Structures are given as structure tokens and as C-alpha cells.
Amino acid sequence: MISYAAHPRPNGQNPNRRLPDPAARTSSGSSARGGGGGGGPERAGGDGEMPLYDCMMLVKPLVTREVMAELVARVARRAYQRNGVVTEVKCFGKVNLGYGIKKLDGRHYQGHLMQMTMMVPPSFPQELHYLNKEDRLLRWLVVKHREAVYGLEFINEDDGKYELGVFSHGDKEDDHDIELGSDADDEDFESDGYEYEIETEDEKDEK
């Protein structure tokens, strides 16, 4: 897995500029998009909230790294235009898919998986629907972190709530907001061509 420490930025911006503190607020209580004060994006729940999102992109297997970097840069530029912050970019390399994804150039069983973590306005995922027309992408989705904890608050949290046992209860329906990009005409699953019969309890007794 490759994790990029340097994040793509529009031309003209200082690449060494420190990222704003996610928990920082201005003295007047306004967000970074407001007219007064400095500071970074506010936490979710404020007037100018900047929730934490993961944008996952599954790219066609033959796409080069240069093209993947271009896709990431386009999303990052849109985030910066909305005063957002890209906190991390990860590339998980080539992954094998559990089923083929059908596109105009054939069915793909592999893809490059990338993840962009960013703090952006809640309306930002709607701006990414242009990715549906991106021919180099197989799939994309955006996941919202509802219970993101920052700074000292994370240290003070009860460690027990992050144990593996919490997964046995399953997730609630509204634990995450997911924006999914897909093609409505795609036929992702293929039938094996066999017909199956289900034997009832009465039929078993008759035998």
C-alpha cells in the first residue's frame, strides 16, 4: 500500500503550508469560508461544518500512475475550491475483484484501488457525479465519517468502544452516508445457467 504524504495542490499554492487543525475554530465562531478570522475547517455540527469523507476510486487495471494522479488532482482541486482539506491519499495497488465489472471495453476482474480522505462541505459529494462519465473509472463511492474524533478527544475516549466486539452487533442504517457512483445498465453478476430446486419438509417426510 502506498500512502502519499504530499497532497496535490493547485498551482500557485505553497506546498509547505501546514494543514489547518481540523478542530480549530475562529474567535468569532465563523468557519474558514466566512469573512472573519482564520483557522481551518470546522468540525461537523458547526455552522460551516466540514465533515470527514473517504472517496474510494476503483480504476481500470491498465491505467498508468500518471493518469491516476491526474484523477486524484482533479478531485483535490475541487475540494480546495470549496475551502476543503485533503488529509491523506492512499493507493492500495491492483486488487482482484469478486466479480467482473462490465464496461464498453469489456469485463474487468481487476482494478487499482485508491482512497482520498478529505474534509469538505456536506454538499461536496454531489459535485463528484462527473466521475460517472469518467471512462477510466470502474466504480467510485464516498463514505462519510459520522463519529470522527480529533486531537485530545481521541486520547480521552474509552478504548473499549473500539474493540472488535462492537462489530458483532452490526452497523446501524444511518452510521455512514454513502454516495455511490455506478452505471445503471451494468450487469455485474452472471447466472451460472443452472436451475435449483428447494425441497420442503413435507417432501422429505414423503420420501
CB atoms within 10 A of CB 79: 24
Question: Considering the chain, what percentage of its residues have pLDDT values greater than 70?
Answer: 47
Q: What is the CA 9 to chain-centroid distance, rounded?
A: 19
**Per the structure block, which three cell numbers stand in for 109?**
476482474
Q: What angle do CA 149, 124, 73 make, to 5 degrees?
A: 95
Asked if residue 164 is part of any domain, the answer here is: no
Question: Considering the chain, what percentage of its residues have pLDDT values greater than 90?
Answer: 43
Residue 140 contacts residue 58 (beta carbons within 8 Å): yes
Asked if residue 20 is part of any domain, the answer here is: no
Residue 132 contacts residue 181 (beta carbons within 8 Å): yes
Q: How many structural domains are present in the chain? A: 1
- 141-183 pLDDT tens trace: 999 987 755 555 544 555 555 444 544 545 554 455 555 554 5
Handedness of CA 54, 142, 25, 154 (dihedral sign): negative
- 3-50 pLDDT tens trace: 554 444 444 444 444 445 544 444 444 333 344 444 455 544 444 688
Asked if residue 137 is part of any domain, the answer here is: yes
CATH code where residue 74 lies: 3.30.70.60
Range of the domain at 137: 1-8+40-152+175-185
Asked if residue 94 is part of any domain, the answer here is: yes
CA distance 140 to 184: 14
Asked if residue 16 is part of any domain, the answer here is: no
Amino acid at 95: V
